[in-house]
Amino acid sequence: MRKTLARILGIVMAAVMISTSAYGTESSDTISSGSEHPDFLNTEEWDVRGSVTPNAETGGLTYIPPIDVLVEASVQSENGLIVSPGYDPYNEGDDEISTQAIIGSDDRTKVYNPNSEKRFRSTVYINVNLPNGMMTRATGFMIGPNAVATSGHVLCNYGFGKNGEWAWAESVDITPAYNTGTVPKPYGTVTANKYSFECGWGWAKNCDTNYDWGIITLSSNIGNQTGFWDVGYSNFNLWNGTSVLLNGYPKYIYEGEGPTRKEIFTTDQYLSTGTIGYTDEHFCYSYNLDASGGNSGGPCYIWTENLGYVAMGILQGGSTEWDSPNAYTTILYFDSTIYNKFLSYRTSTL
């Protein structure tokens, strides 16, 4: 749809615990904030491609350097995409996507049975509990047995604090394959606190959207039940003109167009289809991929002939215009740094 998304609102995902199996604490630096707002002094040498996590002992941040070397063998798809295969406990394989794209008004399709395919059951509903007492919601997706990927802005952001300041979310509730059917929580719900969150340092430091990604480490290997995503990266020139899909849990869907459109509340998972129209160093832009508040952190993915569905980015946000012909949706696509980070969570940290 050309009136794609209203800006993805503060939505927060699940929990991530930094573990020695990912990087090793011996290479980390820790600072103490001394206040509700993190003290970013003396961090000039921290690479923005790295990440940070809350430190329970100091009340500050622990910095984790980026991973510049692939941590596991990858395979290559037919179009040059570098892919780390995920895991499917049912081994049912993937069905090819429809050649029809969702175009026009809000034509997102409801996923009535998210438990039917790995791409849906490994997409998670995130309820976010904020320090200011408010709650919000977002989307995430399994990238390992006990790891969920999402946007960084669902884990920490300005406005989360008790006085509107920058803060981490207090906790998140993760529910894979949530739906309003007869079995709404087929895999239950896992709660994670802020000390299991990790997000891009560039985002935490100055809200640089180029590093707006996050990871949550869970206290159970629920990904062994749901499966977890194949993830891939490539040179950005690959993406222009590519058909892309998006799973997520929008707060509202819309009927009609313009001033007469009707806003309908939902907690179900929806599927969007569109095309990538433009790509820069960090983002893909689509002018017909439907999304709205609650979709943040959801998996953006493509179909490949030899590997099936492969996640290639995270739904980050978009324009605030609804009916403007220039409205767009933004996808933070995986570069080698994000790809390597996700691969470091392919084995359980438990």
Question: Domains along the chain?
Answer: 1-350 (2.40.10.120)
Q: Round to whole Å and give the CA distance between 174 and 259.
A: 35
Q: Round to whole Å and give the CA distance between 148 and 174.
A: 9
3-state DSSP helix/strand/coil % of the chain, to nearest 5: 10, 35, 55
Read off the pLDDT band of 250 (50, 70, 90): very high
DSSP SS3 for 322: coil
Q: Write out pLDDT tens, residues 259-306.
A: 787 889 999 999 999 999 999 999 999 998 988 889 999 999 999 888
32 near 59, Cβ under 8 Å? yes
User: Could you tell me the pTM of the whole model?
Assistant: 0.85
5 near 206, Cβ under 8 Å? no
pLDDT exceeds cutoff 50 at 1: no
Output the pLDDT for position 98: 34
Output the pLDDT for position 324: 64
Q: Round to whole Å and give the CA distance between 201 and 53.
A: 9
Q: State the burial class of residue 9 (Cβ atoms within 10 Å of its Cβ: 0-12, 13-18, 19+).
A: middle
124 near 9, Cβ under 8 Å? no
Average pLDDT estimate for 169-197 = 97
